[in-house]
Amino acid sequence: MGGLDFPLLADFHPKGQMTQAYGLWRDDRGYSRRAIIILDRDGVVRHSQVIDKGAPDIEAVLTAAQAIAAMP
């Protein structure tokens, strides 16, 4: 995306494990809320976006990812 190379994580198995860690799991419904979370190289959350309706703000995601990639 945008000339950046980065790993992706999907919360597939065990179901809900990662989304529970980020407070996104909906136990009452058996699935998680949609979100984009960007971590820096040290595992610090630098950008997060929960998408309840519609599409994510791709410009904000790209800007955050580029800023993190430029960090020393």
Average pLDDT over residues 38-52: 91
Sort 36 into a burial class: Cβ within 10 Å, 0-12 / 13-18 / 19+.
middle
Secondary structure (3-state) at 68: helix
**What pLDDT shows up at residue 63?**
92
* pLDDT class of 45 with cuts at 50, 70, 90: very high
Structure tokens at 25: 């799991």
β-bridge pairing 45-51 and 31-32: unpaired
Contacts of 34 (CB under 8 A, 6+ apart): 50, 51, 52, 56
Q: Give the predicted TM-score (pTM) of the model.
A: 0.75
Percent of the chain having pLDDT more than 90? Answer: 33
Mean pLDDT of the residues in the chain: 87
